[in-house]
């Protein structure tokens, strides 16, 4: 028996499944909650504001895939270098790619890397990135997803070598409320609470919960307004989310753009215009005048203070485009 299996309990070894490595595994997703708690049955990790990914390695074949499966190897070549140097030759690991502004992870800064697919250009971008691993789903010839989370994290810590740009996602036990207060005071996005004995589920689950300090979610771009004054590209983006199969209007965002985004995204949206509104029914009037409708296929990450009673965003700010989520999967994220 291999050393890493010797370190597991008898029950954990029985949960291992010997099978061929799959080409894809859907990632486990957390559910938003306002119920912040402490419990010895849960662990608590920092919520990172970056790009979720799964890493698949079969000896010399190594791929970083986003959560909707595009290959990210050309975007993050230094991460490929670090993963190739790992002692394990066959594995699937789950993690988050981040860039920092000071001590805070910044999705806006990471945008400068997400649009690059050439490895040389990515290395020369000047944007340093890190990969935080927090789970292992397959090791050697074994599917590990049925193991309890604590056992999987033990395997991750013991079978991988962590030095920059590869980092282990540490956690705290029991004291979720105190950790949450500390996280918010530091300006973090929040925490992920995970049930310590949970198996890895390939779907959204209440076994993983999001404690958010900052309101932030993906929304679909359904149109834009004309720029005014000296502004170029566009004035504001019209945003929405899907409910009951219909695109619902969620308001406009006109801040958070730099000049390059205004010009580049403006050109892209002009090429995707349509005559009619993609929003449901009476939602059209809420968008105002001077609007250009677009095919609802682009997804933006938006920060905001709260939802209004009318279902609009209050004080929204554009953080960047998301290339790792399909527009038709975007729904309004509400605490459960």
What is the reported pTM? 0.89
Q: Name the nearest CA neighbour of 214 among 38, 330, 39, 48.
A: 48
Q: Are residues 225 and 203 in the same domain?
A: no
How far is it, in rounded angstroms, from Cα 148 to Cα 73?
30
Picking from 212, 246, 271, the residue at the C-terminal end of a domain is 212
- Structural domain that includes position 256: 215-329
Picking from 159, 190, 212, the residue at the C-terminal end of a domain is 212
Q: Report which DSSP code applies to 283.
A: G
Q: Are residues 197 and 237 in the same domain?
A: no
Q: Tokens standing for 180? A: 């949450």
Report the run of H or E that residue 87 belongs to, with start and end. none
Q: Tokens standing for 46? A: 């920092």
Tell me whether residue 12 is in a domain: no
Known catalytic residues are 47
Look at residue 245 in the predicted model and tell me its pLDDT: 92
Tell me whether residue 335 is in a domain: no
Q: Are residues 284 and 220 in the same domain?
A: yes
At a CB cut-off of 8 Å and minimum separation 6, what does 288 contact? Answer: 225, 252
Look at residue 237 in the predicted model and tell me its pLDDT: 96
- Number of domains the chain is built from: 2
CB 155 within 8 A of CB 87: no
Q: Are residues 247 and 311 in the same domain?
A: yes
Instruction: Return the CA Rg of the chain.
Output: 21
CATH of the domain at 279: 2.40.50.140
Picking from 180, 212, 244, the residue at the C-terminal end of a domain is 212
pLDDT tens, N- to C-terminus, the chain (336 residues): 458 898 888 989 999 999 999 999 999 999 999 999 999 999 999 999 999 999 999 998 999 999 988 999 999 999 999 999 999 999 999 999 999 999 999 999 999 999 899 999 999 999 999 999 999 999 999 999 999 999 999 999 999 999 999 999 999 999 999 999 999 999 999 999 999 999 999 999 999 999 999 899 999 999 999 998 889 999 999 999 999 999 999 999 999 999 999 999 999 999 999 999 999 875 555 556 679 999 999 999 999 999 999 889 999 999 999 988 899 999 999 888
């Amino acid at each position: 028996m291999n050393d890493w299996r010797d370190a597991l309990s008898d029950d954990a070894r029985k949960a291992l499944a010997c099978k061929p490595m799959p080409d894809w595994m859907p990632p486990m997703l957390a559910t938003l909650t306002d119920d912040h708690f402490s419990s010895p049955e849960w662990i608590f990790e920092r919520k990172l504001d970056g790009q979720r990914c799964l890493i698949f390695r079969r000896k010399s074949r190594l791929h970083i895939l986003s959560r909707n499966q595009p290959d990210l190897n050309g975007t993050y070549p230094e991460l490929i270098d670090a993963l190739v140097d790992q002692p394990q030759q066959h594995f699937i690991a789950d993690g988050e790619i981040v860039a920092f502004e000071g001590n805070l992870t910044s999705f806006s800064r990471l945008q400068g890397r997400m649009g690059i697919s050439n490895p040389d250009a990515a290395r020369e971008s000047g944007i340093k990135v890190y990969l935080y691993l927090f789970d292992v789903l397959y090791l050697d010839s074994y599917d590990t997803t049925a193991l309890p989370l604590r056992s999987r994290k033990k395997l991750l810590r013991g079978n991988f070598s962590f030095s920059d740009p590869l980092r282990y996602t540490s956690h705290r036990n029991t004291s979720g409320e105190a950790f949450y207060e500390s996280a918010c005071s530091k300006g973090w996005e929040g925490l992920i609470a995970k049930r310590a004995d949970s198996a890895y589920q390939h779907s959204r689950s209440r076994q993983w919960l999001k404690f958010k300090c900052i309101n932030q979610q993906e929304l679909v771009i359904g149109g834009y307004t004309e720029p005014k004054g000296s502004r170029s590209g566009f004035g504001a983006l019209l945003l929405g989310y899907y409910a009951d199969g219909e695109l619902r209007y969620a308001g406009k965002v006109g801040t958070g753009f730099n000049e390059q985004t205004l010009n580049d995204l403006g050109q892209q949206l002009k090429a995707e215009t349509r005559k009619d509104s993609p929003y449901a029914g009476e939602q059209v009037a809420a968008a105002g005048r001077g609007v250009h409708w677009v095919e609802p296929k682009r997804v933006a990450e938006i920060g905001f203070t709260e939802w209004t009673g009318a279902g609009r965003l209050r004080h929204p700010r554009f953080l960047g485009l998301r290339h790792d989520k399909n527009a038709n999967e975007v729904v309004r994220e509400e605490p459960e």
